[in-house]
Structure 1
Amino acid sequence: MRDRELPVPTRDVERRISTRETAELLGVKPETVYAYVSRGQLSSRREPGGRGSTFDPHEVEALARRNGRGAGGSSSAAGDFSVRTRITLIDQDRYYFRGVDATELAARHSYEEIAEWLWTGRLRPGVTFTAPEASVAPARRAVDALPEHSSPTDRLRVAAIAAAAADPLRFDLSESAVLGTARTLIPTLVAALAPVRHDHRDEGPLAHRLWARLTGRSPDEVSLRALDTALGLLVDHDLAASTLAVRVAASARAHAYAAVSAGLGVLEGPLHGAASGLAHRLLLEVLDRGTAVPVIADELRAGRRVPGLGHRLYPGEDPRARALFALLAEVPHAAPALAAAQDVAATAARHTPLHANVDLALAVLTVASGMPSTAGETVFAVARTAGWIAHTLEEYGERPLRMRPSGHYVGARPPQPLPGG
């Protein structure tokens, strides 16, 4: 099932443009072009045997458009900016990892295989990630010391910090070193979580090990495949808020553990990684009351957004939700939760034309599997760590500290008298 060969990405071979051509397109002097380069707004490359710098015409066009939107036609580092990436493309209600349909990848390949594809552009069939005891032991001790009510993200963030402290080579930012860190950090995060099932075995695919830390139920093949597919679908989603935080940290040359910690800090917000927990509790209430109508009415009456519906990047259906719902239809005991999710979407559609998103699909998985409401947050965080590593590696290849926007000061103009005087 998970054996399709994938193409290896190739370098762009289209013509690059000279400094003079770049200056003409931007309507500036050549000296200003190099100022853009120094500020990280353009990247240049000197071709072998060439006498001057060359530029990517698409990047120049994007900068020209941004300049045109700026006040008075001037460019500002604080304005709207984009980040060049070869990792994820979201386009017309579909999304792609390195040009390959992400939902097809998740259907045919394991989470670990997708992570390797995202990091290297190469597929490693059958790869599994394992963590050395030297990394797991301090992470477990640190997590065990937390209060019992600590959130999953609290636990994962502490585990990442503990693993970093145990790694004297964490400041090696070479690609091979960061890949080595990634392949041990992700399983360390999972191993640091307390297992619910005491007959678990910390071996095999990551999804199997994670299952034992989310529910006490015995897993079946279809449910394990649903969890593994959910991990694969959630690996990356372009520049989400947490991913942007990761890239800012990597731009400052923070090591990979610190970059992941930055992402985990942002992920904890209710509008990001914790959103599936809200959808989980919504489904439980619908199941308890037998219909979504009064539940949705209560949400709207309170002025709350109905969780699990709509996504700003997908005017139509969230492709991650569509893929996960299709697989959940085969999961034993998932029918009631699926019906509740369909009831939520249909009832809300009378008020606003929103489609179910991946948070609602993930909530169906967690409810049907007897997992707590926080389980979706754990799945999301573990899955997205692979994407954060991919963005960290990509950012290490860019100019350091390029993500330094300038503040647009709107306070009192100086000089002002000293306070209290």
Structure 2
Amino acid sequence: MHDQEPAAGPAERRLSTRETAELLGVKPETVYAYVSRGQLSSRREPGGRGSTFAAEEVEALARRTRREAGVASGSGGELSVRTAITLIDKDRYYFRGVDATDLAARHSYEEVAEWLWTGKLRRGATLTAPKASVAVARRAVDALPEHTGPTDRLRVAAIAAAAADPLRFDLSEEAVLGTARALVPTLVNALPPVLRGHRDQGPLAHRLWARLSGRPADEASLRALDTALGLLADHDLAASTLAVRVAASARAHAYAAVSAGLGVIEGPLHGAASGLAHRLLLETLDRGSAGPVIAEELRDGRRIPGLGHRLYLGEDPRARALFGLLEEMPQAAPALAAARDIVTTVARHTPLHANVDLALAVLTVSCGMPATAGETIFAVARTAGWIAHALEEYGERPLRMRPSGHYVGQRPPQPLPQ
């Protein structure tokens, strides 16, 4: 039943259902849903064929919806979420307005993470893992089968750390920042080390290196790894980040939000893409040329990993920054040459530029890391961005990330199945 209004004054402007729907950017059916929820009032004019709505009331609802929701459909029909964390524009990207490649080149991953979380630069920032959380997470990770992948290990570590934290449901900014500063190093320390004699001290990149390579690290390699972590800390609304924001919108705690991101990042089109590029590089190095390797990939109907990015017309700025550091590492020269051969070979037919997955593959190949190392680096790095987005989402209206389904099935009523 529609709410009724007193008769309108002579100056009141009325809108039809179609006009109201256009102003609100919704379907006509949604207009009546607003009426049923008491957000709009309607009236049937004497002799009229449909309901009308007060223009002033409709305009106020439109302003309120835009201001409060912060979620809208973009011009391409894609979800658009209000955020102040990362901007991607004209083949560059920025963290809170600062060029992200410059930030990652000049500051440690820990400092980049603090910038994403707080908008403040904490020089010399460190991330310390609570011993109790690490102990619980390590026991859980050690219980997994030996062939378990890195993302599964990180996901189990996050769940174990959550179970050990009775204050995880406190979503205040201070509490979530405390969780962030403890969770990231806990994830790293929970992974089994492969470098003998390593002690879990110092910058996060040093601790992560010991989980990825059995070789002692030189300064240039550690700098490349640390910069890679900073470059990958966030990248706007990637699929895993959207999952994190959906979880945070439902007021899941930070550990659960990170677990949601880890559940998405494992796909071959996201965090695992660098592993495919790693294998492509190894095969190119083994055969001495990219030509036959690329030919086989295309013959088998597979896309070439490490090339192209839907958000950049030119070269991925993250790849460009990482390649620059890799050129300073003598041991990376063969893998760099193979990567250039891949890009040049594919460019004869399709003008695709290198993306960060290929640069990350050069790093992992040249440092004696396994193919899964890029996925580990990606996941650990992106945890900083996920928590930044969770923090931002906790400040928004709860459950705003609730799109409506477009039902295309059989119209009811249908007979009960026999």
TM over 0.5: yes
Please tell me whether residue 412 in structure 1 is matched to residue 410 in structure 2. Answer: yes
Alignment match, 2:241: 243
Quote the Cα distance in structure 2 between the aligned partners of 1:239 and 1:156: 21
Q: Give the alignment of 1:209-358 within 5 angstroms.
A: 209-358=207-356
Quote the Cα distance in structure 2 between the aligned partners of 1:30 and 1:219: 66
**1:273-322 CA-partner distances (Å, limit 9, x unpaired):** 00000000000000000000000001111111100000000011100000
**1:16-52 CA-partner distances (Å, limit 9, x unpaired):** xxxx9xx99x7463434565577xx4225xxxxxxxx
- Give the number of aligned pairs: 371
Alignment match, 2:8: none
**1:242-293 CA-partner distances (Å, limit 9, x unpaired):** 0000000000000000000000000000100000000000000000000000
Task: Please give the root-mean-square deviation of Cα atoms over the aligned residues, in Å.
Answer: 2.1
Please tell me whether residue 394 in structure 1 is matched to residue 382 in structure 2. Answer: no
SS in structure 1 at match of 2:211? coil
Quote the Cα distance in structure 2 between the aligned partners of 1:176 and 1:259: 17
Quote the Cα distance in structure 1 between the aligned partners of 2:143 and 2:60: 52
Alignment match, 1:74: none
Q: Give the alignment of 1:89-100 within 5 angstroms.
A: 89-100=87-98
Quote the Cα distance in structure 2 between the aligned partners of 1:32 and 1:258: 38
Alignment match, 2:79: 81
Aligned AA for 2:315? E
Quote the Cα distance in structure 2 between the aligned partners of 1:268 and 1:190: 17
Aligned residues of 2:23 and 2:59 also touching (Cα < 8 A)? no
Change over 3 Å in CA distance of 1:167–1:302 after alignment to 2: same
Quote the Cα distance in structure 2 between the aligned partners of 1:280 and 1:33: 54
Quote the Cα distance in structure 2 between the aligned partners of 1:141 and 1:34: 56
Aligned AA for 2:412? P
SS in structure 2 at match of 1:265? helix
SS in structure 2 at match of 1:43? helix
Alignment match, 2:136: 138
Structure 1 unaligned residues grouped into runs of 5+: 1-19, 45-54, 71-78
Q: Which has the larger radius of gyration?
A: 2
Alignment match, 2:6: none
Match of 1:31 among 57, 60, 63: 57
Q: Give the alignment of 1:167-182 within 5 angstroms.
A: 167-182=165-180
Shift of 1:128: 1.1
Alignment match, 1:47: none
Aligned AA for 1:419? P
Aligned residues of 2:138 and 2:190 also touching (Cα < 8 A)? yes
Aligned residues of 2:294 and 2:304 also touching (Cα < 8 A)? yes
Quote the Cα distance in structure 2 between the aligned partners of 1:339 and 1:243: 33
Quote the Cα distance in structure 2 between the aligned partners of 1:129 and 1:279: 31
Quote the Cα distance in structure 2 between the aligned partners of 1:189 and 1:81: 30
Quote the Cα distance in structure 2 between the aligned partners of 1:34 and 1:166: 47
Shift of 1:332: 3.0
TM-score, normalisation: structure 1: 0.85
Please tell me whether residue 43 in structure 1 is matched to residue 67 in structure 2. Answer: yes
Match of 2:109 among 108, 111, 122: 111
Shift of 1:82: 1.0
Aligned AA for 1:356? A
Structure 2 unaligned residues grouped into runs of 5+: 1-12, 14-18, 25-54
Aligned residues of 2:23 and 2:62 also touching (Cα < 8 A)? no
Quote the Cα distance in structure 2 between the aligned partners of 1:156 and 1:389: 15
Quote the Cα distance in structure 2 between the aligned partners of 1:242 and 1:131: 24
Shift of 1:80: 3.6
